Amino acid sequence: MDRSVRFIGFVRSELRRREEAPKQGPEGGLAAWLEIAERFIDGVEGITCGDQIVLLTWLHQGNRNVLKVHPRGKEENAATGVFSTRSPDRPNPIGLHRVTVLEIAAPNRIKVYPLEAIDGTPIIDIKPVLPRLGDA
């Protein structure tokens, strides 16, 4: 059984350092490009401008030895387990980002908004946002 994670591409963003990134996309995330590796281009077929997608990233600057954090990085907040937060510091630093596709420039370049991931963040998966049950 293969348990490896394959990076399918990388984020290209004006955000260069972790300290510059907002906590969540809607809190100041920027438009950014997703550069998909050549061997995974067939996998993006069907994604179109205006689509909402869920982007899963590998938060490569996260500390993987952290189990408790002060939510939102504020010391006045009581320390709590990372699994009840969106902290990038966690045993498996997987980022979850709901974004809208703004532009598709080439089969391997997709512009999305709002994204808080920093430049060079590896992309591990893309999934469509599905309508809620009961929605028309």
Is residue 84 assigned to a domain? Answer: yes
pLDDT at 134: 62
How many domains in the chain?
1
Range of the domain at 103: 9-128
* Per-residue confidence (pLDDT) for residue 87, from 0 to 100: 87
Task: Say what the pLDDT of residue 133 is.
Answer: 66
Q: Is residue 31 part of a domain?
A: yes
Q: If we measure between CA atoms, which residue out of 123, 127, 125 comes closest to residue 11? A: 123
Residues of the chain with pLDDT below 70 are: 133-136
Domain membership flag for residue 96: yes
Does a structural domain hold residue 134?
Answer: no
- Give the model confidence (pLDDT) of 82-111 as tens digits: 999 888 889 999 999 999 999 999 889 999
In a domain, 22, yes or no: yes
Say what the pLDDT of residue 85 is: 87
pLDDT of residue 47: 96
Distance CA 10, CA 122 (A): 4
- 101 in a structural domain: yes
Is 82 part of a structural domain of the chain? Answer: yes
Residue 4 covered by a domain = no
CATH of the domain at 60: 2.40.30.70
